[in-house]
Copies of this chain bind each other. A is one copy, B any other.
């Protein structure tokens, strides 16, 4: 009897003493899975813990702990005197057939009945948000230099004191202490003071853009969009059923004059005035004023995406557009995804006073608040001065990496591409030469384990010369030469 059940269990259990997961957890997870998959039938009897301990060469207390845990989860049950059994009344294991046959269609093959927005998102690429962290990935912070220990201390400090109070729904606009810290940061580092009451915390920059689009524009309304511009923001606006008005970007930034002439009636303008992505240019003072005047005259709104202006390597930081906005038309969006890391999912809006109520209410209705623990830890991190010093350290590090990137790149890509590295941000461009095609280079680089984005992916209307966007912030200086070698090879191979 027991023998038979040993045979039924042990094949499923592979314990790896080297794994980061403790061994008892490995056994527990594998037993659970075996039960859920039906490999261990409901009601079947388990060997005695002593037998299992021998078989798995584990201590008996460990095995007992595993069995107790699985009992507490309801997978196992004990019957007086007769041992441990797989719980009788377990759900039948799910067949994957039904799922695997699903391709976004009803069983009769028709399209599901969705809203306009639902249809648009159904047509979207499923890759959205799936980023592969490989060399030269754009906007890749130097994760390995993140002060994990300090961050852990801040999290513990923030969640230790007065925890019970902190377990409830937070302020829909974000925790007051974090809004205060962000206002202080903006006052000092962006030279742009605001009242903390003008700030609304969002789960990342995209959530801020989504809120702005929903509060300020109706389906079908026009939005100025810099061409080229960030694909994910383009996809967001398109999915929210806005009409994208592509506006050309030259060395002075967005061509505001032609935008105002072609699309005077747009409700929104989306712009990255201090550092355009991916071109790295800045919007001229004249262009900024022209956009502010247009917005004021047409009661339109400007969404200022300031996402990587933190990293400027030449000269003082540029003023934000918001800081010169006399008529309260600018919705400023900041994020911690680049300065800290994307997984944090914290961004923020700085709003004109007359818009705060609408944004706060819609944010509150759509997600109540952002994980409070994370907000408090971040406030602690900023308040303790760790954010400012982390930024300073990263600025220094990226300065070195940028120099190494340019040197290694110019050498390795000579005759293949011209490196064009702006004064700020985390990314550069490589303008392809000799008729290389950026999409083809992207594909063959990816096959070689290099992650670069083709400029054509950012292009809405007018086709541009071929270029690839390369991130330098995530690559150690002494690795640049090596990775550029692989990239050059991939470029040649793409012909």
* Chain A residues near B (Cβ < 8 Å): 20-21, 25, 28-29, 32, 36, 69-70, 72-75, 90-94, 96, 98-99, 101-107, 112-119, 121-122, 124-126, 128-131, 133, 141, 143-144, 146, 148, 152, 155-156, 159, 161-172, 184, 187-189, 191-195, 197-198, 202-204, 206-207, 210, 214-219, 221, 232, 235-236, 239, 267, 299-301, 327-328, 337, 341-346, 352-362, 364-374, 383-385, 388-389, 392
Chain B residues with CB below 8 A from A143, complex form: 163-164, 167-168
Chain B residues with CB below 8 A from A221, complex form: 115
Is B168 within 8 A of A342, CB to CB? Answer: yes
- How far is B374's CA from A301's CA once the two chains are assembled, in angstroms? 34
Known contacts: A75-B188, A192-B91, A361-B124. The answer to whether A355 contacts B385 by CB under 8 A is no
- How far is B202's CA from A184's CA once the two chains are assembled, in angstroms? 30
Is B131 within 8 A of A299, CB to CB? Answer: no
Residue from B36, B114, B148, B360 within 8 A of A215 (CB atoms): B114
8 contacts across the A-B interface (CB closer than 8 A): A20-B162, A32-B184, A113-B301, A122-B361, A155-B155, A239-B362, A345-B368, A371-B374
Is B167 within 8 A of A91, CB to CB? Answer: no
Residue from B92, B126, B342 within 8 A of A169 (CB atoms): B342
Known contacts: A167-B343, A341-B168, A343-B167. The answer to whether A365 contacts B191 by CB under 8 A is no
Is B90 within 8 A of A188, CB to CB? Answer: yes
Is B357 within 8 A of A72, CB to CB? Answer: no
Instruction: Name the residue in A21, A73, A171 with the highest tally of chain B Cβ atoms < 10 Å from its Cβ.
Output: A73
Instruction: Name the residue in A32, A72, A345, A369 with the highest tally of chain B Cβ atoms < 10 Å from its Cβ.
Output: A345
Q: Which residue of B lies closest to A355 (CB)?
A: B112
Is A167 within 8 A of B141, CB to CB? Answer: yes
Is B104 within 8 A of A358, CB to CB? Answer: yes
- Count of chain copies: 2
- How far is B114's CA from A267's CA once the two chains are assembled, in angstroms? 9
- How far is B206's CA from A215's CA once the two chains are assembled, in angstroms? 18
Chain B residues with CB below 8 A from A343, complex form: 166-170, 369, 371-373
- How far is B468's CA from A161's CA once the two chains are assembled, in angstroms? 33
- How far is B345's CA from A338's CA once the two chains are assembled, in angstroms? 23
Residue from B72, B119, B359 within 8 A of A392 (CB atoms): B72
Q: Which residue of B lies closest to A192 (CB)?
A: B91
Known contacts: A102-B356, A118-B215, A354-B106. The answer to whether A171 contacts B130 by CB under 8 A is yes
Is A328 within 8 A of B107, CB to CB? Answer: yes
Is A367 within 8 A of B118, CB to CB? Answer: no
CB distance from A346 to the nearest CB of B (A): 8
- How far is B310's CA from A73's CA once the two chains are assembled, in angstroms? 14
Q: Which residue of B lies closest to A117 (CB)?
A: B214
